[in-house]
Amino acid sequence: YADTAMYQVKEKGRDSIEFFNEEMADKVSRQLVMEGDLHRALEEGQFELYYQPKMDVISSRVVGAEALLRWKHPTKGMVSPVDFIPVLETSGMIIDVGQWVLEDACKTLVKWSEQGLWHEGMKLSINISPRQFRRAAFVQDVIDTIERFPIPPNSLDMEITEGIVIQRVEDAIATMTLLSDKGISFSLDDFGTGYSSISYLKRLPVSTLKIDQGFVRDIIVDRNDRVLVETIITMGNLLDMELVAEGVEEAEQLAILKAFGCHFYQGYLFSMPVELAVFESILRTDQQRILEPA
Ligand code: C2E
Ligand code: MG
Ligand code: MG
Ligand code: MG
């Protein structure tokens, strides 16, 4: 196969080889520049967590939030995690940045509980990269961190993807079990896009399935997606798991999800991910609603 590729390159002549090299060199140099910028970002406090409310489908109350990483670049403005998380992962910097995310989330949980904004049963989810999760010291580092911050019991949730689990199921179960014992729950993120084998699902200490937004997006127009979403919800309910639909933008999507038996949702329909102060005002408003029901 490699010989064939080489042959094709040769056929096209020297120009194409140089073009190919230049393009690769360009990519590598852009990556290196970004790595430098990301190091500085961590040192200079350019990272910030945004919060997207997680809503109860039936009562429309806030049941928690997902913390999503933002990079406020001094000249480029807000950089999307889609653009820099892969660089953090390949460079290994995700370990330090992931630790920052965990600590910042814990600090915020402590503050919210002190201010009476966080109630029993509410959960803050953070996203965990494969590289973080598979590290031998991951469990101990997390335990050390949550012991330094007196977070409310059972208030922290970790979102991982199926890919993390499938490669080394036994190791994943061991890691998750140790952390579950400390009150941390687990959600499977982007569910439906991976392998989704029911046999291993049953064995994992996972409490929540997050239905990928790709399926939710076309739930009204695409019958296949609708059937798939209904199947995931039915299966999740049979396995006693909580179901969160991601990327809900329209009331009609929410109505379908509700009819299928989905419990929770996140999406622009209620709120985009917002900065800390804005999320806190959402929490206050939500509490006001219980004290003074309409
Ligand atoms: P994710 O964990 O699947 O997060 C959901 C993404 O969907 C977020 O994108 C969120 O802003 C977006 N979203 C939420 N509601 C809607 C909606 O109604 N419509 C649309 N079109 N999009 C919606 P975001 O914040 O850009 O994050 C992208 C991905 O970056 C995340 O996907 C996650 O995989 C990764 N990520 C974000 N923060 C962290 C972090 O702290 N650590 C790690 N390892 N990964 C992170
Ligand atoms: Mg997530
Ligand atoms: Mg997701
Ligand atoms: Mg995603």
Cα(246) to centroid(ligand 3), Å: 6
Report how far residue 172's alpha carbon sits from residue 183's, in angstroms, rounded to the nearest whole number: 17
What pLDDT sits at residue 31? Answer: 87
Cα(68) to centroid(ligand 1), Å: 6
Q: Pocket of ligand 1, candidates 94, 186, 246: which has the most ligand atoms within 8 Å of its Cβ, to mutate?
A: 246
Paired with 185 in beta bridges are 157
Residue 78 φ/ψ region, left for φ over 0, alpha for ψ in the -120 to 50 degree band, beta for the rest: beta
Low-confidence stretches of the chain (pLDDT < 50) are: 1-11
What pLDDT sits at residue 281? Answer: 97
Report how far residue 39's alpha carbon sits from residue 58's, in angstroms, rounded to the nearest whole number: 43
Starting from the CA of residue 212, give the closest ligand.
3
User: Does the ipTM exceed 0.95?
Assistant: yes
Residue pair 132/102 in contact (Cβ under 8 Å)? The answer is no
What pLDDT sits at residue 66? Answer: 98
Q: Which atom of ligand 1 is nearest to the CA of 126?
A: 41
Cα(11) to centroid(ligand 1), Å: 43
Q: Pocket of ligand 1, candidates 46, 66, 68: which has the most ligand atoms within 8 Å of its Cβ, to mutate?
A: 68
Starting from the CA of residue 159, give the closest ligand.
2
Cα(219) to centroid(ligand 3), Å: 16
Report how far residue 244's alpha carbon sits from residue 248's, in angstroms, rounded to the nearest whole number: 10
Question: Which residues are near ligand 1 (CB < 6 Å)?
Answer: 52, 68-69, 80-82, 85, 101, 126-129, 159, 189-190, 213, 246-249, 266-268, 273
Cα(97) to centroid(ligand 4), Å: 18
- Indicate which residue's Cα is closest to atom 7 of ligand 1: 247
**Exposed, middle or buried: residue 155 (CB in 10 Å: 0-12, 13-18, 19+)?**
buried
- Indicate which residue's Cα is closest to atom 45 of ligand 1: 127
Starting from the CA of residue 78, give the closest ligand.
1
Distances (CA, A) of 287 to 61, 214, 216, 263: 9, 32, 28, 20
Q: Pocket of ligand 1, candidates 94, 127, 218, 279: which has the most ligand atoms within 8 Å of its Cβ, to mutate?
A: 127
- Indicate which residue's Cα is closest to atom 42 of ligand 1: 127
Question: pTM value?
Answer: 0.91
What pLDDT sits at residue 2? Answer: 38
Count the Cβ atoms, other than its own, within 10 Å of residue 223: 9
- Indicate which residue's Cα is closest to atom 27 of ligand 1: 81
